[in-house]
Amino acid sequence: MNEVVDSAELLGASSSDNTIFGHPRGLYILFFTEMWERFSYYGMRGLLIFYLTEHFLFSQERSSIIYGAYTALVYVMTIIGGTLADKYLGSRKAVTFGAILLVIGHLGMAFEGNGSREILTYNGVDYEIGLDARGGDGNQIISSEQGVSLVSFNNGATQMLIAEPDNVGLPAIIPATDFTRRTETEALYVNGLYLSLALIIAGVGFLKANISSIVGALYGFGDTRRDSGFTIFYMGINLGAFLASILCGYLGITYGWKYGFGLAGIGMVFGLTIFLKFQGWLEGKAEPPSIEKLQQKVFGPLNIEAMCYLAGLGIIAISMLMVMNAHLIDDTYVGFLGILVFVFMVSYAFFGCDKTERNRMLAAIYIILAQIPFWALFEQAGTSLNLFAGSLVDRTMLGFNVPAPIFQSLNAMFIIIFAPLMAMLWIKLAKHKINPSSPVKFSLGVFMAGLGFLVLVAGMKISGSSGLTAVYFIFLIYWIHTMGELMVSPVGLSVVTKLAPPRVVGMTMGAWFLYSGLSNYLAGVIASTTGAETIGGQLTDVAAAKANFISVYTQVGYIAMGIAALMLLVSPFIKKMMEGAE
């Protein structure tokens, strides 16, 4: 106990009111817990698409769908984790359980095995195709009992070119029609991948929404420190994301997947340790609503608390099955779920609300849906943009070849730099009564998402049909998308909670997270359309792959800007429907 007091005093804590730099000391425990949780999440996220395509040799299309399903389920499962915490577990127990699942899941990702093997058969003899490096930097190599040789492909990928044919006992040129390919997998490690992803999904589901709830609970009603407290907390999120993308990305690509994923897991161990050691600093603000109810027996010796944890195991099983079979799920089922929830919310607005509530509820539904085009484009960062940066960008900076996942840090870096500036801008504009309304900010955010891709397309065209795109265009798209995110992300959830009738705030927040998940799934679908033919996890036809990126990014860019224009046109009507709840 003395150690805790001494540590608090070193940080400037007040012994009389248990604050540190004017805020409840529990805030800083949540800051570091969430920082390490986001460190683990974004550290793994930056490597995942390369891990799927290069280590397990999934196609780019299937890898994007797996990634989209994974990130979608992360959002959707927060609804279940949040509900169980609100009704039974309390936020502290839910966060602890989620953190334990995350530690297991992230460390599980480090058990990689030998990876899948791509076997090329020519004239009845088997050869193995692979890469000599990771993250888009690898050259394709072919191995035989005799030796190893680099290989490449002509324009159109109609011929495989063997650099040193004598080393492997093959002719220098082999028509693509003369060989066949198959992939041999290690089922144990592939299933281990799916299980690890499912554990992370369930872990985030129990932790993510609930740790934010604890931050809110630390401040009393009307406490003027609340907004700055959340600002400090969100800085931890971005600090974790920034550090993870650099450190885990570098280790994973340079030294091996297990080192990047292992570091992400170690980060989560730090987060769990901090939360467990300093739980007392939360001062009872995250306890179960009823200890008696939690201990109530419901099924033999199992009480409600045990059933909540078993529900977590159910989430793991369902998530594993869905991620494993994501490529088999018809997109219409996902769309039908979105339509069903939309119809339910609109019905409630008309039949369960008075006139003022109805208008505000309809405005909330609009805000919930308006996020879809933004996140569907923004979340290309982890999939198609990551693959694009790995294969089609000149990543040499100051004489150093920057691993592609490191560019994932740009978003967090730009948020840390520009979020305070944007906050000051909104305050200044509000003083002059020219601060854009929330619907206008949303339309600008969607416009920026589309604009970012059109700027990148311009850079791609400058570099020719098969040349590498200049790296500063990657900086540009991430900066533009981050500015768009600052128009959407800080505004959306806050406005939705203000607009929804108090009795259905929880349901409306659940709908926000659900459609965030659907947006991420749509992002995976869009990314899958950019997929190109690979051998050994590397592109076979660079020109065709680049042309496809240009085509897809041009389409989504113009579509997003068109949607933004329509959103701008309807924004005055949405603002009116908000009935002053801005």
Tell me the pLDDT tens digit for each residue of 158-179.
999 999 999 999 999 999 999 9
232 pLDDT band (50/70/90 cuts)? confident
Q: Is the pLDDT of residue 7 over 60?
A: no
Nearest by Cα to 164 from 143, 145, 148, 144: 148
Between 4 and 129, the higher pLDDT residue? 129
pLDDT-based confidence at 494, cuts 50/70/90?
confident
What per-residue confidence (pLDDT) applies to 465? 87
**Band of the pLDDT at 5, cuts 50, 70, 90?**
very low
pLDDT for residue 221: 63
The CA-based dihedral angle spanning residues 195, 515, 565, 526, taken in that order and rounded to the nearest 10 degrees: 30
List, for residues 243-298, the tens digit of each pLDDT value: 999 999 999 999 999 999 999 999 999 999 999 999 889 888 889 888 988 999 98
Please give the pLDDT value at position 332.
86
pLDDT at res. 112: 93
Rounded CA separation 240/258 (Å): 19
Q: For the chain, list the domains and their CATH numbers.
A: 18-115+187-327 (1.20.1250.20), 117-184 (no CATH)
Classify the phi-psi angles of 215: left when phi > 0, otherwise alpha if psi is within -120 to 50, otherwise beta: alpha
pLDDT at 26 over 50: yes
CB 257 within 8 A of CB 111: no
The mean pLDDT of 66-80, rounded to a whole number, is 93
| Average pLDDT score over residue span 495-515 | 83
Write down the pLDDT at residue 10.
37
pLDDT at 331: 84
- pLDDT at position 11 over 80: no
Q: Are strands 393-394 and 469-470 parallel, antiparallel or unpaired?
A: parallel
Confidence of residue 320 (pLDDT cuts 50, 70, 90): very high
Residue 522: predicted pLDDT: 95
CB-based contacts of 52, cutoff 8 Å, min separation 6? 58, 62, 63, 66, 67
- What phi and psi, each to the nearest 5 degrees, are found at residue 503? -70, -15
The CA distance from 454 to 446, in Å, is: 13
pLDDT of residue 384: 96
509-557 residue pLDDT tens: 888 889 999 999 999 999 999 999 898 888 999 999 999 999 999 999 9
pLDDT greater than 60 at residue 8: no
Whether the pLDDT of residue 109 is over 80: the answer is yes
Residue % of the chain over a pLDDT of 90: 69
Is residue 530 within a helix (H) or strand (E), and if so which, with residue range? none
pLDDT tens track for 416-457? 999 888 888 888 988 888 989 989 999 999 999 999 999 999
What is the average per-residue pLDDT within 300-327?
A: 94
Q: Give the pLDDT band (50/70/90) at residue 14.
A: very low
427 exposed, middle or buried (CB, 10 Å; 0-12, 13-18, 19+)? exposed
pLDDT at position 330 over 90: no
With tokens 């305050």, the residue in question is: 427
Ranked by mean pLDDT, the top range of 6-10, 320-324, 423-427 is 320-324
User: What mean pLDDT value characterizes the chain?
Assistant: 91
Q: 238 and 415 in contact (C-beta within 8 Å)? A: yes
pLDDT above 80: residue 491: no
The fraction of the chain above a pLDDT of 70, given in percent, is 96
pLDDT at residue 9 is higher than 80: no
d(CA 78, CA 168): 52
pLDDT of 49 > 90? The answer is yes
Residue 220 has pLDDT above 80, yes or no: no
Q: What is the DSSP secondary-structure string of 549-580?
A: HHHHHHHHHHHHHHHHHHHHHHHHHHHHHTTT
Tell me which of 389 and 504 has the higher pLDDT. 389
Q: How far apart are CA 95 and CA 82, in angstroms?
A: 10
